[in-house]
Amino acid sequence: MSEAEVTEAVLEALDSLPEPIAAQLEGVAVIVEDSHPEDLMGIYDPSGGLQRIVVFREANPDAAEVRRTVLHEVGHHFGMDEDLVRELGYG
């Protein structure tokens, strides 16, 4: 997928969130980067006072995977551990 296609898929995933959840993401930057050295699909990074979700374009082959990655990282933002996020079907 191109950067524009991944960005569009990220926006669609965020727009699909219920308003009460979306409102709690205010101040969280969601960005697209090409790749991660460990081939991660995405990461939630709350370090340094800046909260951000990064979606790695090369690891997400289609819009469905981008959506799953975004929702996975949103789960981490809300304090869910890896096991719970996967149990909910986002991992």
Domains of the chain: 3-87 (3.30.2010.20)
What does the pLDDT read at residue 25? 94
Residue 91 has pLDDT above 80, yes or no: no
Q: What is the mean pLDDT of the chain?
A: 94
What predicted TM-score, i.e. pTM, was given to this entire model? 0.92
Residue 48 has pLDDT above 90, yes or no: no
What is the three-state SS of the chain? CCHHHHHHHHHHHHHCCCHHHHHCCCCEEEEEECCCCCCCCEEEECHHHCEEEEEEHHHCCCHHHHHHHHHHHHHHHCCCCHHHHHHCCCC
Which percentage of the chain shows pLDDT scores above 70?
Answer: 100
- At 6-24, the pLDDT tens digits run 999 999 999 999 999 999 9
